[in-house]
Amino acid sequence: MTDDTVTASIFASGGGYDGISEDITIKALDTDLLVFDRDGYNNIYPWESESFTVRLSVRPFENITVRVYPHINFYSFYKTNSSFDTDAGTPGNQNTLTFTPQNWSVPQTVTVTSGGPYDRPQQGETPVLVFILPSGARETVGVHFVDPKIDRTYLYLSSKVLTIDEGSSQTFTVRPQRAPSSEMTVVLWGNADEGSRSDLLKMDKTSLTFTPSNWHIPQTVTVSALRDSDAKDSDGSVLFSLLGSGIASVRIYIRDNNLGINIPAGTLFVPEGDARTFPVKLNSPPSGTVTVNVSQPSNPDMTVDTDPPTTGNQTSLTFTAGNWNIPQTVAVTAAEDADAIADRSDSIYLSVPESDTNYAGQTETLSLVIRENDRYPIIEAVANPLVVTEGDSATFTVRLAAEIERERDIWVKFYQPFSLGVTVDTDPRTVGNQTTLRFTSDNWNIRQTVTVNAAEDSDDLLGVASIRLKHTEFSDFIDDEEVFHNVGILVADNDTAGLVLSTTNLGVSEGSSKAFTVALATLPTADVTVMLVQENPENADVTLDRNKLTFTRDSWNIAQTVRVRAAEDDDAIDDRAAISLTPSGGGYDNLNRRVAVTVNEDDKVGLKLSSDSLTIPEGDSDTFKVQLVTQPSENVTVRLRQPENTDVTLDTDTATTGNQNTLTFTSDNWNQPQTVTVSTLQDDDTLDDSASITLTASGGGYKNVTASMPVSVTERSEAGLILSTRSISLDEGGSRRFTV
């Protein structure tokens, strides 16, 4: 595994930030980030468990959480009533593994448990566990539930592989792994499959019998290797049967010791433009030095070299009594050509000259085939991996690398990706998804189009898929092999994870409540918890009926209701609050949302006067009191305007020299009355006076709030004539003056 680490530098400029920079280290993790240890992870029988471990291959920079799910395309865990658990120490079955920069190399255990009897699924339905990385990349582990009547291995073998020289023998032991309920007979026989030489094996027993009392005692089987007439090594196997079913085997390698040149059996396939080697040794000690000559093939595109370090192509090998059984290597090279037309098969002949010791005249032949390397498809895509937007499609083309012979066709077969929702189609004009392309000598260089479709889904994960394809040919090759290729696919998701709110601005009337709803925008990877709290500063008059919401993979798109209540208060201030919604889990971490709450105040602001009006005798004074109707948000100043009638004056603070005309109320004393004194002057007329005092408030939510106090002044003087004297005495003929 190779990881690329780069350092990106971030430079700022402008606004006083010139020359400021920071570095960030970016590590690109290889797709083989997860390391699985399956040692001891065996078949799982009904009501039993098996475990395997998982660790990271490199140290991460931050915590990595791996989510585990059964793949829904395959035989469901629910059909077998089975389960898996990533943390045996936590109650319930967990489905996540968390690796930190400290514990990344410590294997974590996954335990799979069978829920009961198992019915063998159809082909392609094997249960699979999918391990999903934070990036969306996936790794899989197969789960092997088995039927105990067919698949349980009952026998313990002391050795599963033996090497025996021709004409000799070896032994191994057998015993059951557990006590049988009654006498048990194990039948032994040689494998008769094609290519096996079990006919050269002879066993001293054809059956073994175990009872409930002796089952734990190993029984010995002796296997002998018979001699044959050739000079080649062979192999075979001993099979064991119980109740008609094969349950175990021992592989036997037979070393030939006949006089002769020992080379591998079969055909040597050499890729065009490459080389392959094969070993040569003698089967038995020679009486002297033996020279083995190796012929050059008749095909000029192939060459043989018995000593590549030496200049030129060497064509002989030398064996002595000291090195006769030590393999010496022969290299066969196939030259590159420009076409995809198969070269003819050939042979290499190995021979010992007639004059050489007891090996004189010995020969062997090895068949050769050049495997054409230009007979492969060229995949042409705009990018690797090919990016396909969810709910859309993309294409790439395929052609052959070189011309092929007329009598052969090359077929390119595509396998539908393992990833759910990604399909490949080689012929969209035909109903269904076609999966083959055919190339001939006439169209080998004509590009054929392949369409990749990506279905819509509900999650917000990037999809990673791989299209596997192989090319095959109708050939005469005995051991023709299929060559596989892969096209990487990256599904660009068009869904964005987030909280879906019915509103982000909620108006609530004082003394009532109102609701909003919350849902998830996409299918989460696990349960999502949403915590609801008021942002600071908290408003005690605003409360929620719940502070936690939980969404599952089944309920993610079902809206849940949150009700906000606004309490009554004495002020006339429109209260405000903000509710923060913080989700976590399931791929929703840090996707916070906010709902602003405005409380519509039902209390009206105003000035409260102690009386509706004042009646004051001329030359006298009286008072009235002023207070606020509701609590202000800050200080309120009430300014009183002196009446136009100058015989009437007001004073808001008699302790201060002069007539004051302002009152100040705070949020603490807003409901405590303050006194205003109104005074009238004595005048000379006999008319009742009147006036009006206007009060205007400002600040604390009381802007332009007004009130007035009417004032009536009652006259103290009565109507009549005022004489300077009420009696006068006059002499006859005299006069006096008086005034009126």
More confident residue, 244 or 266: 266
Which residue from 177, 172, 171, 170 is spatially nearest to 156, judged by alpha carbons? 177
Class of domain 29-147: mainly beta
CATH class in words for 607-714: mainly beta
Kindly list the strands in the beta sheet with 648-651, ordered across the sheet, starting from the edge strand earlier in the chain: 607-609, 621-628, 674-680, 648-651
CA dihedral over 253, 257, 262, 265, signed as positive or negative: negative
- 456-476 per-position pLDDT tens digit: 766 555 556 667 766 665 433
* Tens of pLDDT, residues 330-342: 999 988 877 656 6
State both tokens at 528: 């999502």
What radius of gyration do the chain's Cα atoms show? 51
Range in 245-249, 464-468, 530-534 the model is least confident about: 245-249
Distance CA 86, CA 84 (A): 7
Sign (positive/negative) of CA torsion 146, 151, 154, 160? negative
| Nearest Cα to Cα of residue 64 among 143, 159, 148, 132 | 132
Task: Indicate the domain borders of the chain.
Answer: 29-147, 153-255, 261-371, 377-492, 499-600, 607-714
Measured CA to CA, the distance from residue 546 to residue 516 in angstroms comes to 12
- 8 Å CB contact between 691 and 645: yes
Tell me if the pTM is above 0.85.
no
> Is 377-492 a domain of CATH 2.102.10.10?
no
What local confidence, expressed as pLDDT, does residue 265 receive? 79
User: For residue 315, which of 331, 299, 326 has the smallest C-alpha distance?
Assistant: 331
Round to whole Å and give the CA distance between 647 and 712. Answer: 11
User: Ranked by mean pLDDT, which of 72-76, 350-354, 522-526, 635-639 comes out on top?
Assistant: 635-639
Decide if 29-147 and 261-371 have a common fold.
Answer: yes
User: Of the CATH numbers 3.40.50.10790, 3.40.50.880, 2.60.40.10, 2.40.30.10, which one belongs to the domain with range 153-255?
Assistant: 2.60.40.10
Q: How confident is the model at residue 245 (pLDDT cuts 50, 70, 90)?
A: very low
| pLDDT band at residue 77 using 50, 70 and 90 as cut-offs | low
- Answer yes or no: is pLDDT of 152 > 60: no
User: Which amino acid type is present at position 95?
Assistant: N
- Matching CATH number, 499-600, of 3.40.1400.10, 3.40.50.170, 2.60.40.10, 2.60.34.10: 2.60.40.10
Segment 700-714, tens digit of pLDDT:
888 888 999 999 988
Which of the pair, 60 or 665, is modelled with greater confidence?
665
Output the six-digit token pair for 673. 């009355």
Q: What is the mean pLDDT of residues 385-407?
A: 81
318-to-89, 315, 325, 327, 668 alpha-carbon distances in Å: 66, 11, 12, 11, 114
Q: Which pLDDT value is given to residue 682? A: 78
Tell me: the pLDDT tens digits for 473-486? 543 333 344 456 77
Among 145, 144, 129, 143, CA closest to 34:
129
**Cα–Cα distance, 264 to 365 (Å, whole number):** 10
Q: Which of 503, 461, 520 is nearest to 137 (CA)?
A: 461
pLDDT grade, residue 530 (50/70/90)? Answer: very high
Q: How far apart are CA 344 and CA 529, in angstroms?
A: 69
Residues 503-526: what's their mean pLDDT? 85
Q: Quick one: 139 exposed, middle or buried, by C-beta within 10 A (0-12, 13-18, 19+)? A: middle
d(C-alpha 559, C-alpha 23), whole Å = 43
How large a percentage of the chain has pLDDT more than 90? Answer: 18
What would the pLDDT profile of 162-210 be if each residue is shown by its tens digit?
A: 777 777 888 888 888 778 778 888 887 765 444 455 667 788 888 888 8
CA distance 683 to 680: 9
**Residue 585, amino acid:** G
Give the burial string for 340-357 (b: 16+ CB within 10 Å, else e).
bbbbebbebebbbeeebb
In the chain, pLDDT over 70 holds for what percent of residues? 74
In this model, does residue 582 exceed pLDDT 90? yes
Mean pLDDT of 309-326: 88
Q: Identify the top-confidence range among 209-213, 243-247, 489-493.
A: 209-213
What tokens were used for 79?
Answer: 């059909």
Closest CA to 299 of 272, 267, 327: 272
627-668 tens-digit pLDDT: 998 888 889 999 999 888 888 899 999 888 989 999 999 988
Instruction: Write down the pLDDT at residue 729.
Output: 65
Q: Which residues pair with 157 in a beta bridge?
A: 174
Most confident of 215-224, 414-423, 472-481: 215-224
Domain 261-371 carries which CATH code?
A: 2.60.40.10
pLDDT score recorded for residue 464: 62
- Count other C-beta atoms under 10 Å from residue 449's C-beta: 13
